[in-house]
Amino acid sequence: MNCGVCTAICPAAEFYDYDPRDICNVLMSKDEEKIEDLLKGDKIWHCGQCLSCKTRCPRGNVPGLLISLLREVSIRVGLFTESEEGRRQYAIKKTLGENIINSGYCVHVMHVKPHLHPEQGPVWKWYFDNAEEVADRQGGNYNKEGSGALRKINDENLKDLRRIFEVTGGKDFYDQIDKQSKVKAVQLKKNITDNVDDNEYFYHVYKDKSQKQ
Amino acid sequence: MSKQYWKDYQSAVAEDNYYYERSCIRQSFFTGSEEIFLKIVKDVLKKDIVDDMNLHTCSGIGYYSGVVPLDTTMTVVARLFALMTEAGYKNFVPSCITSFGLVNEMVDMWHHFPDKLEEIKGYLKEATGKEFEMPENIVHPCDIIYKNRKALKEKMKYSLTNVKTGKPLQVVEHIGCHYAKIFPRQVKGGAEFPQVLVGMIQEWGGEVVDYPERRHCCGFGFSQYLVLANRGYSAANSKKKFESMQPFKPDFILTNCPGCNMFMDRWQYTISETEGITYDDHKRGIPVLTYEELTGLLLGYNPWDLGLQVHQVQVEPLLDKIGIEYDPKDKYVGKTGKQLKEPEKPMNLKV
């Protein structure tokens, strides 16, 4: 099957030099050298996971989910830091992944910092600066115990969430992203610290884009 | 065939007794939407819905952006199902479109790979001591509003009619990709013609705008948006939609996905500030509403209690068209009654 309907419908194929059909071909070839090239290249990181390919594939295949697996393997074997796009997983782990085990949310008002999100505009900055007043006006329960929107997730639930990450390998996965990123940061001569604010490597992988792209 | 689809779809939306799973994105960006949905279900429709304090993220954004592995995601979803089981419910109602797609994807995988389901049950038991039963019904809240749209209409104070011209408002509906594109057969109208927002718009007096890029993704792209370097991907996708809908002069955009709602609001601001382009005739942008906000507005709730002040594209022109009364002085009042300093004004986008 090589019809290319997935590529025809793919928003990422329109925007990037990227072709999900081609990635499926490489996987089906079982050519380990070519598969390794995928794991250490930029292409697997271009997919936007809209899964339009799932809707359209006449054989019921899902290139987007094959790409999810390639990304997971790329991190597990440590090849993700070989590409500019793969290295960005460190920034995503810092700004989203850690939220999950620290707060119980992927995203919460307090995580969407205006200096990292200029596109959010002045109304968002106003919400961020007045979060409790604005959220609770809308019926929220901002960072407080109990139920309701934006509530503080209690220790018992956070403990379970952290245990899930430990038992299922999620924590090891985070550690692998950190470990390989630290190695790459040394190679690139970028300072890397646990704190985002003074972390040169974080800002490099978060916002820099080379000319080749 | 289409009649059978319709019957299957209707039976798939449970009548009552819902276990609500909150959305990280909807809570954060459209806090009032979740609250008004719960209020409408309990107070207006008189149905049972639980808001469980023990809930947490589904981890879906982490999974689709590639930082949370599959087994971890599956076990997080399994814990959410365990909480539902403990609460005595069987109808799982995820507020987020990402969650809706995710839980359906996990259930589908467990159906095809029962050994994986057993493995995940083991992980959950080991990590938390919990067990779970599979939901009988996974339904998105927009389907509950759609199913009850006629009953809600009877209680509405306003309709989608321009009070000055007497003509129906022109509405763009945008459906989140993970609602209809992963499992299109579970959605009335499938991926091409999902009826959920269309039904609300038409029942409540509006007209739906059919434009060329109607089913194009908003451009979230998970890992694309999450780093500053790749936000151009996200903005470019929304821009493609705005350019396509602009000639039809929509009065507003209606969404069922909180992410899409936020992006289509914020990218109008960004495009306006960086390129000086707006997609209406008055340099104010096209307002973007969640379906919960729209339902609440037409039922007569205070727009500022619904949280319409947290949209970057201002909604007053739309409120004026519908004839909704509002107090401008109340817009920036906080929970404690404190008058908050107003947000700064954008350079180009009129507010």
Q: What is the pLDDT of residues A41-98, one digit of tens each?
A: 999 999 999 999 999 999 989 999 999 999 999 999 999 999 999 999 999 999 999 9
The ipTM value here is 0.97
Encode pLDDT of A83-120 as tens digits. 999 999 999 999 999 999 999 999 999 999 999 999 99
Distance of alpha carbon A52 from the chain centroid: 19
Q: Is the sign of the CA dihedral A196, A199, A205, A207 positive or negative?
A: positive
Q: How far apart are CA A8 and CA A158, in angstroms?
A: 43
The residue among B223, B269, B305 with the most chain A CBs within 10 A of its CB, best to mutate, is: B223
Q: Tell me the chain B residues in contact with residue A96 when contact means C-beta distances shorter than 8 Å.
A: 61-62, 65, 67, 226
CATH 1.20.1050.140, domain B8-141, yes or no: yes
Question: Residue B2: what pLDDT?
Answer: 55
The residue among B22, B27, B220 with the most chain A CBs within 10 A of its CB, best to mutate, is: B27
Q: Give me the numbers of helices (H) and strands (E) for chain A, helices first please.
A: 14, 0
Domain ranges of chain B: 8-141, 143-330
Nearest CB to A97; choose among B56, B60, B67: B67
Confidence of residue A212 (pLDDT cuts 50, 70, 90): low
Question: Residue B9: what pLDDT?
Answer: 60
What is the pairing mode between strands B170-174 and B207-208?
Answer: parallel
Question: Residue B188: what pLDDT?
Answer: 85
Shortest Cα distance, chain A CAs vs residue B165, angstroms: 31
Nearest CB to B56; choose among A116, A161, A170: A161
Tokens of B293: 């906000």
| pLDDT over 90, % of chain A | 95
Question: Residue B187: what pLDDT?
Answer: 87
The residue among B21, B23, B31, B262 with the most chain A CBs within 10 A of its CB, best to mutate, is: B31
Q: How far apart are CA B187 and CA B166, in angstroms?
A: 33
Tokens of A61: 């295949």
Q: How far apart are CA B147 and CA B140, in angstroms?
A: 11
Nearest CB to A160; choose among B128, B180, B184: B128
Consecutive 10-residue averages of pLDDT for chain B (351 residues): 58 91 98 98 98 97 98 98 98 98 97 98 98 97 97 98 98 97 88 94 98 96 98 98 98 98 98 98 97 98 98 98 98 98 97 95
Q: Tell me the chain A residues in contact with residue B341 when contact means C-beta distances shorter than 8 Å.
A: 126
Residue in the structure block whose two tokens are 């601001």: B269
Q: Is B289:B195 a contact under the CB 8 Å cutoff?
A: no
In B189-248, the residues whose Cβ lies within 8 Å of chain A are 191, 216-217, 219-224, 226-231, 233, 235-237
H/E segment holding residue B102? helix B97-112
Tokens of B111: 């159906």
The answer to whether B333 faces chain A, any CB pair under 8 Å, is yes
The answer to whether B126 faces chain A, any CB pair under 8 Å, is yes
Q: Is B305:B341 a contact under the CB 8 Å cutoff?
A: no
Q: Is A8:A53 a contact under the CB 8 Å cutoff?
A: no
Q: How far apart are CA B289 and CA B286, in angstroms?
A: 10
The answer to whether B122 faces chain A, any CB pair under 8 Å, is no
Return the half-sphere exposure (C-beta side, CA atoms, 13 A cut-off) of residue B77: 32
Question: Residue A52: what pLDDT?
Answer: 96
From B262, B184, B253, B186, select the one nearest B213 (Cα to Cα).
Answer: B253
H/E segment holding residue B141? helix B141-147
What is the pairing mode between strands B170-174 and B288-290?
Answer: unpaired
Q: How far apart are CA B24 and CA B291, in angstroms?
A: 17
Question: Residue B7: what pLDDT?
Answer: 60
CB contact under 8 A, A138 and B216: no
From B320, B341, B178, select the one nearest B251 (Cα to Cα).
Answer: B320
Nearest CB to B305; choose among A97, A137, A177: A137
CATH 3.40.50.720, domain B143-330, yes or no: no
Encode pLDDT of A179-193 as tens digits. 999 999 999 999 999
Distance of alpha carbon B15 from the chain centroid: 20
Backbone torsions φ then ψ of B333, nearest 5 degrees: -95, 130
Q: Tell me the chain B residues in contact with residue A69 when contact means C-beta distances shorter than 8 Å.
A: 70
Count of other CB atoms within 10 angstroms of residue A171: 16
Shortest Cα distance, chain A CAs vs residue B176, angstroms: 9
Q: Tell me the chain B residues in contact with residue A51 when contact means C-beta distances shorter than 8 Å.
A: 101, 177-178, 181-182
From B10, B33, B26, select the one nearest B195 (Cα to Cα).
Answer: B10
Tokens of B240: 């493609």
Q: How far apart are CA A85 and CA A89, in angstroms?
A: 8
Confidence of residue A156 (pLDDT cuts 50, 70, 90): very high
Q: Is B189:B6 a contact under the CB 8 Å cutoff?
A: no
Write down the pTM of the prediction: 0.97
